[in-house]
Structure 1
């Protein structure tokens, strides 16, 4: 099933964009939806289903778990505290949270290192979800712990301790960042310490509301409020058929990846951010100072303070992507602010590994690349 929306955008090709969405659906993603903006003009589209059992169609205005796109919101809230003089980017985290990050680590790891993932603190994923440890080479790997944690409420300090107790990924301030959600949970605790309110409330008041977002927020329970899709997790073929995880306690990612939003709100947020209406120009410049980093899946990225840098034939784009169980999203804005793309999909980790553990190509990969190519560059050569 295909759901179409119309557009009168002179700078966009609605037929090509819709065809690219449809191709992602036909390649195997149950539902995909997007909003693309070009020089003040907007196109929205959707393709496929929100529920594979009922055939309920996915629509372009649905709310969606946007994963690590949350990190840009959290980074903006931290930069506001820097602007107010409550914290410095190069202040050791131990000066404010000595009990949370004690000893030499607290003295060496700075706020900047948490924001750009050079703290050396590893992620907690395989410790919070132990049945995943050793994937894909260990024969007894399973996704049982994903199900076991569906209704578990984690305290940020629990997850932070899992990361701090694990072997470090490197020395604090190293030249290459290693992506870790622990950094962002520590930043959430820092926001609470500085403002006297929960980090989610701080981000809501000072970032989400300032940007004028109407459909973005941290979930109050295990469900996505408002119209939304079911979210299908395949975990590299270990869950077959893919299972719905739209009902889940998101305390396992909190201010690192817990937000719910819409593609319209994501584009609005990044437009407001890059227009200087969320943080000032000096803060934005700091956020756009990138270093090489390694994502959780091992891929190389150029990472700033809560922002990815992506080079395309159309030029430089800034934004973030994200996944949580069953949901994927990406939002990118051109350096000149004229072109924006936000895409949401309701199936994730579809690639199956070979015997060596390397994920194998899937038709979805090419279809997604072609969608990004059309959305970002209007059919120009493939984006990075």
Structure 2
């Protein structure tokens, strides 16, 4: 194969990320029937306990692909219309003209114009994304806060709009996906967590993937070290955390093996129909939470390098951790990577994150994982 797996090159790239400053990370790369998995660094900086490639991990907004797939299953059954206004389903949550203007599709691809609720739920992040004026205090204040989804949605819907419904570029917002979870509950008469578990997680045969009900990660896992742009020094462990602040839009716990299995089945048409998958890969420009304009579909986004095959997948972050899972368009090559620290970039005087050696090392790992040596 032109982009075969080279264990020595992959292992060296993984270890380079650890040397650049990530306490621990682990990955699985697949090329056809070939599989490489490895880990580098520690799961606990105090004890030196090593990370292993089979650890369970909070994967953040990779959850959105699971949620989008669940919604599209209901579209296929005729219970949800992709281009039906959300106000027809949830008039009390998105009332009036906005409810009639914002469609289900706009929620899934972040073109609804609804604001992110996070700065309103976490007061010390009030200036987010003006990072220089934020602080990490709310992360501790809300470690065990049990948020209600409708409360968070109210914050996002009640905030000033960030764009017109359907306008591009859209703006990435967790408010959209909490609404999709409420929509799932409305049309399935069960909770979003239960529906996604039965019809996406179990359908894909994922044995180490779950939407948590408490603040702990069950099974072997790493601690998660949040730096908040150098304002938490040394980075603090947030691995025990009530994830109701994102709910079924970003709280998934999984493994790199399970993530690769899920995305492989998704692109093979085994989770949603081929026509639904085609809808998922119809993209629009969206401003990411990092402030970059990316192409975004229905819970999927592409990663493209000129002259190279396109990959599809999703990334995610939580307090202290992150993950990225991508699969080549033909389904033959896959990578899932998890790291146990987050927001390592320090800020300049204007609040702009500065380059860090971790960024370059991760980019090199992704290149080797996706395109070979």
> Which bracket does the TM-score occupy, shorter chain normalised?
over 0.9
Is 1:160 the counterpart of 2:153? The answer is yes
Match 1:366 to one of 356, 360, 364 = 360
1:349 aligns to 2:373 (yes or no): no
Counterpart among 352, 370, 373 of residue 376 in structure 1: 370
Identify which of 253, 256, 264 aligns with 1:263. Answer: 256
Counterpart secondary structure, 1:44: strand
Determine the C-alpha separation between the residues in 1 that align with 2:233 and 2:321: 16
In terms of mean alpha carbon deviation, does 332-341 or 130-139 score higher?
130-139
The answer (yes or no) to whether the contact 1:136–1:353 under 8 Å persists in 2 is no
CA RMSD across the alignment:
1.2
1:321 maps to what in 2?
A: 315
- C-alpha change, 1:12 and 1:113, in structure 2 (3 Å) is same
Q: In structure 2, do the counterparts of structure 1 residues 106 and 247 end up closer, same or farther at CA, with 3 Å as the change threshold?
A: same
Contact 2:225 / 2:320 at 8 angstroms: preserved in 1?
A: yes
Structure 1 residues 118 and 137: CA distance shift in structure 2, 3 A: closer
Which residue pairs with 2:59 in the alignment? 66
CA distance in 2, matches of 1:352, 1:272: 38
Which of 272, 277, 280 aligns to 1:279? It is: 272
1:315 is paired with a residue whose SS is: coil
- Give me the whole-angstrom Cα distance separating, in 2, the residues matched to 1:61 and 1:173: 41
1:335 correspondence with 2:329: yes
Alpha carbons 1:136, 1:357 under 8 Å: kept? no
- 3-state DSSP of counterpart to 1:34: strand
Moved more, 129-138 or 66-75: 129-138
Q: CA 1:97–1:136 in structure 2 vs 1: closer, same or farther (change >3 Å)?
A: closer
TM-fit CA distance, 1:314: 3.1
In 1: Cα distance, 2:156 partner to 2:130 partner = 22
Q: Identify the residue that residue 199 of structure 1 maps to in structure 2.
A: 192
Give the match for residue 125 of structure 1: 118
Relative to 1, partners in 2 of residues 1:189 and 1:12: Cα closer, same or farther, differing over 3 Å?
A: same
Deviations 1:14-44 (A, max 9, x none): 0000000100000000001000000121000
Q: Distance in 1 between matches of 2:130 and 2:155?
A: 23
CA 1:133–1:195 in 2, change beyond 3 Å: closer, same or farther? Answer: same
Count how many residue pairs are aligned between Structure 1 and Structure 2.
370
Q: Aligned in 2, Cα 1:146/1:265: closer, same or farther, shift over 3 Å? A: same
1: CA distance between counterparts of 2:285 and 2:238? Answer: 32
Q: 1:165 offset after TM fit, Å? A: 1.1
Instruction: Give SS of 1:309's match.
Output: strand
Whether 1:305 aligns to 2:305 is: no
Structure 1 residue 100 and structure 2 residue 93: aligned?
yes
Q: Write the mapping of 1:123-272 to structure 2, written as runs, cut at 5 A.
A: 123-134=116-127, 141-272=134-265
**Are the equivalent residues in 1 in contact too, given 2:311–2:329 (CA < 8 A)?**
yes
Q: For the residues of structure 2 that align with 1:116 and 1:259, how far apart are their CA atoms? A: 19
Matched, 1:28 2:21: yes
Whether 1:81 aligns to 2:78 is no
Instruction: State the distance in 1 between where 2:52 and 2:97 align.
Output: 50
How much does 1:136 deviate? 7.9
Question: Residue 138 of structure 1: CA displacement?
Answer: 8.0
Q: Which runs of 4+ in 1 moved over 6 A?
A: 136-140
TM-score with structure 1 setting the length: 0.95
| Partners of 2:111 and 2:166 within 8 A in 1 | yes
In structure 2, list runs of 5 or more residues that go unmatched.
none
Q: Is the 8 A contact 2:81 2:104 kept in 1?
A: yes
